[in-house]
Amino acid sequence: MSTYNTILLEKKNRIAFITINRPDVLNALNSEVMTELASLIAELDSDPEIAVSVLTGAGRAFAAGADIKEMESHSFVSMYMEDYFSKWDRFAAARKPVIAAVNGFALGGGCELAMMCDVIIASEKAKFGQPEIKLGVSPGMGGSQRLTKAVGKAKAMDLVLTGRMIDATEADRIGLVSRVVAADDLMTIATEAAEAIASYSIPVIMANKEMVSASLELPTTEGVRFERRLFQALFSTQDQKEGMNAFVSKRDADFRDK
């Protein structure tokens, strides 16, 4: 496993705990964070000992946006030639689930990063927003697309065009987050969710994530067909046999990721 400068990593009980560790700048997402998270998620996808990850931020922010100081001097040509933000596509393409434990500010790129994750568990102190318009730009890490898919056009337009910040209660009401919990309970509940996921078969976890993710891209009929094929394919696994036999036998399943 690689050594990282901007993130912390702990592995425990088939769970990877990842912390963005730039609290002095509210975990602003610079190129190094992007590169390190993209690299790490690729490593975790191929790690047979990891079933799920939990991502959070150090201090009082999850991530309060992209690093503006790093971007300020860029031109269109430099942004275009570097394909700036493109490494986030690798993070978003993670095959294993990622739970965002949003402890504080998740603004701009931070909100976009949370939306790249599969489950968003928010502290009651969390704040969300896409304030890029205030800087003379727009979302650039997928915010206009994922936000609209999550909350609908009306709410997305409101947030993107006004740049306003919303609290966890409103984020929950509009469907942006999965759960809102007490601040002191955030990591406990995120860990419990991760433990529940990690108790299942890794290939089955990955298949379930894949079919839900596909629903955002496919027409309903084609999506149902895709779901059905994956469902059928899982009958070739040992874990399907074990899971169903355990259910019939009224015992706990012993999954082996096969």
Active site residues: 66, 109, 112, 132
Quick one: pLDDT at residue 3? 86
Q: How confident is the model over 92-113, as a mean pLDDT?
A: 98
Distance separating alpha carbons of residues 221 and 224, to the nearest angstrom: 5
Chain segment 21-30, per-residue pLDDT in tens:
999 999 999 9
- Find the range with the poorest average confidence among 65-74, 92-101, 188-197, 248-257: 65-74
Total-model pTM? 0.95
Amino acid 66: pLDDT: 87
The 10s digit of each residue's pLDDT in 1-55 is 468 999 999 999 999 999 999 999 999 999 999 999 999 999 999 999 999 999 9
Give the mean pLDDT of 229-242. 97
Over residues 114-137, the pLDDT tens digits come to 999 999 999 999 999 999 999 999
d(CA 74, CA 70): 8
